[in-house]
Amino acid sequence: MNNRVFSHRRRTRGVIAAAIAVALVLAACGGGSGTKTGDVVVPGGSGSASAYTGAPPSGDPINVMTIASVNYTGPNYANILTTAKLYESWINAHGGVAHRPLKVTTCDEQGDPNKIAACGRQAVANKSVAVIGSFTFNGASIVPELAASNISWFGICCAASAIELTSPIVQQIGSGGTIAAFAVKAVQDGCKHISLVVLDAGAATQFGITIVKNALKSMNASDRLKSTVLIPLTAQDYSAQVAQATDGTDCIMASIGEANFPPFLSAFASSGGTQRLYGPQGNLDGKVVKPFAEATEGAVIIGAYSDLSLPVWNDYRAAISQYKAPSDQDYNSLGGLGTWAAYVAFQQIVEGMTGPLTAATFLATAQKATVKMNGMSADVDFTKPFTGLGAPFANDYNRTATFDIVHNGKLTPFKDGAFYDMTNAMLGQPLAPADLPPGGQ
């Protein structure tokens, strides 16, 4: 093949990969939008809901960093930075990581590629062992900064740029299979005439539609997609889109952001719609469903992490309560759950290491690790890159989904937070019986 042609195709696949990533995670961390100010540092303290009587941590601190946008006019994720500091306070009150104190530095990148690059340089200067549980749309500006110093971009919930899906310093815990799970669960629930509602984001949207169609094909249900409704990114009134989505349908899969759901649900409720709704974790969340309890009754939320109410999150809930985390942030979300899970996985890897702990030794160990998430997410094997969609998606290690069901304006875990593998659904291939979530509530 002509080298110039190959180079062009490789660049094109990279652009498509970036678009795909944005389609899968657009505004999906449940942080809200608009400028948000305030201190995200959680007060320290001793003890927790579970008594700890062991020795306090000692020795040199383990330096790490977490990055997200907070003071930004676009999507902000204060819950990510808050959760990182919660974990620091909680783990240091419970013996530390490998008996050493954990020192978490948070960095607000403000949605600015220059600022996130500066965050990366700060991580290097601080001799951070890893950058943990972060989220950004500016991955192309942070990953090279970290790669130059062998610092892991560890435990992210969701890649939003092409380099995050290919770089060997990235260990993603969150799942790329959730968008396929919309269709699988809807079919299992008996939906016969489905409308897919998505934000109109160009190539990213088109790929998301393709994955949904693949998943329907895997279920021998391609004919059940009655309509695809595009919502302009700047839309204010969703009445026309709701009318289209409710025309002759029994279920609506809405892959839209947290800020989009209130106007959508307002129009949906006004229309008298009775369709069962499906939405993504961190977007169709507790804050959204509470004022629309009737319209969202029975709605299905598709996630990469299990519900915060489950026992596996006892420590996280205790930390939220004990350290008086800000009540206006959503912790039962990709941002909150994903960051806590990333720190748990980080601790697991560090405490299994021997020899010196540096950025380079942690990265080398993480690249060979399988993290046991105990039901926070599916277990993740970082030695097994994903090959089903080609090299541009290698870091999509986890392709499982779990579900919540909305009852009386509250989220309830489906089947105790069980996870279902959506790999075949993403590829349009038949699913094994174990990968099929049961229908119903």
H helices present in 334-410, as ranges: 334-351, 359-366
Average pLDDT (221-232) is 96
Average pLDDT (285-305) is 95
Average pLDDT (356-362) is 98
CA pair distance 90, 168, nearest whole angstrom: 30
Average pLDDT (222-227) is 98
The two domains 8-175+309-393 and 178-303+401-435 share their CATH topology (first three levels equal): yes
31-40, 206-215, 334-343, 405-414: least confidently modelled range: 31-40
Helix, strand, coil % in the chain, rounded to nearest 5: 40, 15, 45
Average pLDDT, the chain: 89
> Domain 178-303+401-435, what architecture?
3-Layer(aba) Sandwich (3.40)
Number of H helices, E strands in the chain: 13, 15
Give the E-state strand segments of 75-199 in sequence order.
Answer: 102-108, 130-132, 152-156, 170-172, 194-199
Put simply, whether the predicted model's pTM sits higher than 0.75 gets the answer yes
Those residues with Cβ within 8 angstroms of residue 380's Cβ, 6 or more apart along the chain or in another chain? 171, 173, 345, 370, 371, 373, 397, 398
Beta strand pairing call for 194-199 and 420-421? unpaired
Four-point Cα dihedral 78, 82, 83, 89, nearest 10: 170
Average pLDDT (231-241) is 90
**CATH number of the domain at 8-175+309-393, out of 3.30.980.10, 3.40.50.2300, 1.10.287.980, 1.10.3720.10?**
3.40.50.2300
Q: Which residue has the higher pLDDT, 32 or 259?
A: 259
Domain ranges of the chain: 8-175+309-393, 178-303+401-435
CA pair distance 342, 346, nearest whole angstrom: 6
